[in-house]
Each structure stands twice: as C-alpha cells, then as structure tokens.
Amino acid sequence: EAVRSRCYSNVGAATFSMPSISSPPGVKLLLGGKFLDSQANEWIDVVNPATQEVVSRVPLTTGEEFDAAVAAARQAYPAWRDTPITVRQRFMFKLQELIRRDMDKLALSVTTEQGKTLQDARGDVFRGLEVVEQACGTVTMQMGEYVENVSSGIDTYSIRQPLGVCAGICPFNFPAMIPLWMFPMAVTCGNTFVLKPSEKDPGAAMMLAELAAEAGLPAGVLNIVHGTNDVVNRICDHPDIKAISFVGSDKAGMHIYSRAAAKGKRIQCNMGAKNHAVVMPDANPDATLNALVGAAFGAAGQRCMAISTVVFVGGSTTWEDGLRERAVKLKVSAGIEPGADLGPVISKQAKERIFSLVQSGLSHGAKLVLDGRDIKVPGYVEGNFVGPTILSNVTPDMECYKEEIFGPVLLCLEAQTLEEAVAIINRNKYGNGTAIFTTSGAAARFFQHEIDVGQVGINVPIPVPLPFFSFTGSRGSFAGDLNFYGKAGVQFFTQIKTVTSQWKETFSKGVAMAFPTSQ
C-alpha cells in the first residue's frame, strides 16, 4: 500500500482513481483532454511482479470510447497542424523539463509495475527523455527541399506535412521509453495521437500524458486508450488512423502489420530479437565479461537489445568460467531493494515459458553453466524471479536458440572462425542487435561489413542508437520502411508534397499538347 500511494502521489493523481486497500485504482482513459473513468465491463489487473500485489486495474476500452478517442484526435488535428512548428516544439521543451522533474516518480512506477530495478527504470525514462529532447529540434529534420529552375522559370520544392491521426501500441518492457519513442515525434511533426500503453504496465504512460497536459499540449492532441487484441484491431481498422507505430512481439507485430496494411495504413513494427555477441580470442577479458553479464542479465533479460546469445571464437571454457563467476554474484531481488541487480520477470507465465525453454535446451544436449531456476528471494516469496542462467554447448537447431527467451538466460555457442560466427548470426531470423568484442580493428571492420543485423556494437554490448540516429533493427526484428525516431522517425510521421511553380510576368500563349519536358 505504501508503494501504491507513493506511486500515485502528485503525478498520476488525475490519471488514476484513488487507491484503497479493498479496490485497486482504475487506470483512466484520456479522451479529448479529459482523464475519464472507463465504462468498460472488463478490466485487467496490473500486477507488481515482485509481490503479486494488484497495483491498479486497466479497462478494456469500449468501442464507443475508442471512437471518441479517434474523434477527439481528428477534431484537434486541423488547429494543431496549423500551429507553428516552433510553437509545437516548445511543448516538448516544457515536457522534457517536467520529465526531469518527475524522473524518480516515473521510475518508481516503472519498477512497481514492470519489476526492473530503480536505477534501470531511471534509464528507461532517460532514454525516452532523449527522444523528447530530439523532438525539440524537429524543425530542422522536417525541412523540405528546393530546386530552382527545373525548367525555364519553374521551381520545384517539396514540403513534409503531417499525416493526421496516428496511433501507437506499446510493449511491457519499457513502459516509459517506448511511449516516448512514439507520441513526442508524432505530435511535434503536427499529427494528433492515440496511444495504447501495454496493459501490463500502463502507469508510466499515464504519468507522461499528465505531464504532457501540464506542459500545455492542447486537448485531443494526445489521447489514451487501453486494452488488448480488440482495441488493437480497432486501431488497425479505423479509417481515420493514418499510421501505426508498434513495438512488441513478432506475433502481434506481424498481425498488426498485415491487418493495418490491408487498410492502406503506414506502419512501423519493431519486434522480437535474438542478439548475439561474438567474442574473439583477443578480446579484453575483464571488459568483455563485464559487458556480457550486464547486457545478458540486466532488466532480467527483458530488453529487446539484451545479449541473449554469445558465440565464442576459438574456445569457450575460460570465458564461461568468467561469466559464471560474475553472474553468481548478482543480487536478484525486487527492483525497489537497494543493491538489486535484476528484478523479477513480468509474469508467472513468462517464468514458466523461460523454464520450459531452458529445460528443452538441456534435454537436447545443452549444459548448465549456471542454474537460476530455483532461486529464493527473501521477503518476496511470491515474486516471478529467475536467477541468471547460463547454458553452454548450445546449437542453432535447439528450440531455446530459435525462440526469443526474454529472460535472464545466456546461451553459449562456439565457432572456429569469425567467418563461421558471422554465418551463424546471419542465418538467425532476427536482425535487431549484435556486438563484437575484439582488440583487432580488422576483425571489427570485417564484422561490421559482413553482419546482416541492423544495430552493431564494437566493444559496445547494447548499441541502441541515440535519437539523432534511428533505431535500425532489421530482418525479422522489423517490418516497415521507416524506423523509429531520428530522421526516419520524422519521415514516418510526415508525407511529402512536391510543388512545381511558375511565376512569370507573361505566360506563354497557346495550348501545349505534348508531355512537358524541361526547356
């Protein structure tokens, strides 16, 4: 109860009904500038994964409420589109200031609902904040192009205009960062927005919406709906929604991609991952082992850029010993506990799935270097904890290799050469992130050139680009053409209009019947 009331004190006060011990607060909708109670008949419990406490209840938005959200966004669009871009940017300047002010409250909400440690939760908020900072400079990214005199006295220029109403569908693992990948860029480009946070942890998104309102964002520019498959299908089908940003699993992503594309919408889908690290024999041992342990087990492996697989070139035993030595020392506990290195996984089902993938690996010949399955966390007997787990002797035909595990499990493979390691990675269906650890520039250069993965780290374990670049996962990890944030993000949220103009004192006389060519 203490955590619950801390979480909802001040920030969040408008977006949740007041909590009481007997009934957890309901998460509100944001429709046309008003935070409202849903009339839904069905509600889902938002559960603290460290304690099983029901933190809040999230409604399955009704059809009428969803339509009202889209209508509010549509109504707000003309005036918002015509608001000068410099003015639109100023809302982002204010929003970034408010996010900084409330960083700790946002992080506490993330920890309470998602489970990650408070320090990691601050990182979740901070990486989203950086997109808001980038959105403050949208004007330079939204500039058009101009060519004078494409034909005699004729000029052509292109302008980037907003699309209209756009929507975002979020996953559970970054409850603050991913909403911030979506609506700040979309609205600063001149669109209005309907956001659907993850039903597992909507709290941070609600607080961000409250901060956007405090920053003065006009009513209807940002709207929030809740729910699962039904509301997502409504987003895919609604004729007034022009573009959809999705982040989440392959299954949902490909469903949304095909359903919304059939309605002619623009879509960007960031999906699952299996990020491999390659460790060369010449890699710096200490730095490499520390990087691998942080990237594999941080956030309990529930990061789309977690390193979940490592390929050791030329022998793995010493490396595996080093990994175990470090991983065994990590403190697994509730994210609010001081000194916790990793928290619980999101749900009992996620924990069961992780266990069954580990077991299937062992049944097919993998070896346990470290077993985190029977971990007991004092004071949190009900938590969904999985301790750091390391499997060696893994081969690409194993189920545990083919599936995204999304837990604190590191798979170890071996290759004789760098070429063989690259071939393994390029055969994997995903292309989100990868990293090489080496002291050889030539090996790094070869890897960077040959690897078919969208985000590459060279002695950097989690190479998530800052928002002046874009998040460039590829192959099975992405569907669409234009990536999240950066220049590609602005391109996603705008369409090009090309104008060809002629201003002359005297126009030529007579009818020209031939197709115009430049003269």
Catalytic residues: 304
Tell me if 228 contacts ligand NAD by CB under 6 A: yes
Tell me if 401 contacts ligand NAD by CB under 6 A: no
Name which of 65 and 337 has its Cβ closer to ligand NAD: 65
Tell me if 51 contacts ligand NAD by CB under 6 A: no
Tell me if 199 contacts ligand NAD by CB under 6 A: yes
Inter-CA distances, 204 with 27, 54, 102, 129, Å: 11, 16, 11, 13
Q: Tokens at residue 76, please?
A: 């707000």
The answer to whether 324 and 315 have CB atoms below 8 angstroms apart is: no
Tell me if 171 contacts ligand NAD by CB under 6 A: yes
State the nearest-atom distance from the C-beta of 344 to ligand NAD, in Å.
15
Burial of residue 233 (CB within 10 Å: 0-12, 13-18, 19+) is middle
Name which of 132 and 271 has its Cβ closer to ligand NAD: 271
Angle between helices 85-101 and 103-114 (to 10 degrees): 70
Residues within window 291-330 making contact with ligand NAD, judged by CB under 6 A: 304
Residue 376 CB neighbour total at 10 angstroms: 10
State the nearest-atom distance from the C-beta of 198 to ligand NAD, in Å.
5
Catalogue the E-assigned strands of 71-220.
145-151, 154-162, 165-169, 192-196
Using CB under 6 A, pick the residue from 108, 169, 195, 415 that binds ligand NAD. 169
Tell me if 354 contacts ligand NAD by CB under 6 A: no
Inter-CA distances, 134 with 2, 92, 261, 374, Å: 36, 9, 29, 44
Tell me if 113 contacts ligand NAD by CB under 6 A: no
Tell me how many degrees the CA angle 98-104-109 measures, rounded to the nearest 5: 100
Give the type of residue at 159.
I
Using CB under 6 A, pick the residue from 56, 198, 288, 470 that binds ligand NAD. 198
The answer to whether 465 and 486 have CB atoms below 8 angstroms apart is: yes
Where is 57: in which H helix or E strand? strand 54-59
Tell me if 203 contacts ligand NAD by CB under 6 A: no
State the nearest-atom distance from the C-beta of 92 to ligand NAD, in Å.
22
Name which of 182 and 334 has its Cβ closer to ligand NAD: 182
Tell me if 114 contacts ligand NAD by CB under 6 A: no
Using CB under 6 A, pick the residue from 99, 163, 166, 252 that binds ligand NAD. 252
Q: By Cβ distance, which residue is nearest to ligand NAD?
A: 248
Give the gyration radius of the chain's Cα atoms: 25
Tell me if 213 contacts ligand NAD by CB under 6 A: no
Residue 237 CB neighbour total at 10 angstroms: 13
State the nearest-atom distance from the C-beta of 269 to ligand NAD, in Å.
9
State the nearest-atom distance from the C-beta of 127 to ligand NAD, in Å.
11
The answer to whether 191 and 163 have CB atoms below 8 angstroms apart is: yes
Name which of 198 and 288 has its Cβ closer to ligand NAD: 198
Residues within window 22-41 making contact with ligand NAD, judged by CB under 6 A: none
Name which of 345 and 369 has its Cβ closer to ligand NAD: 345
How far is residue 223's CA from residue 208's CA, in Å, rounded to a whole number?
A: 12
Where is 181: in which H helix or E strand? helix 177-188
Half-sphere exposure of 346 (CA within 13 A, CB side): 21
Site size with ligand NAD, rule: CB under 6 A = 29
Stretch of 81-89, 228-236, 280-288, 452-460 lying at the interface with ligand NAD (CB under 6 A): 228-236
Residue (of 411, 451, 412) closest to 435 by Cα position: 451
Using CB under 6 A, pick the residue from 35, 172, 312, 447 that binds ligand NAD. 172
Which residues in this chain contact ligand NAD in the complex, by CB under 6 A?
A: 169-174, 196, 198-199, 228-229, 232, 247-249, 251-252, 255, 270-273, 304, 404, 406, 432, 471, 473, 477
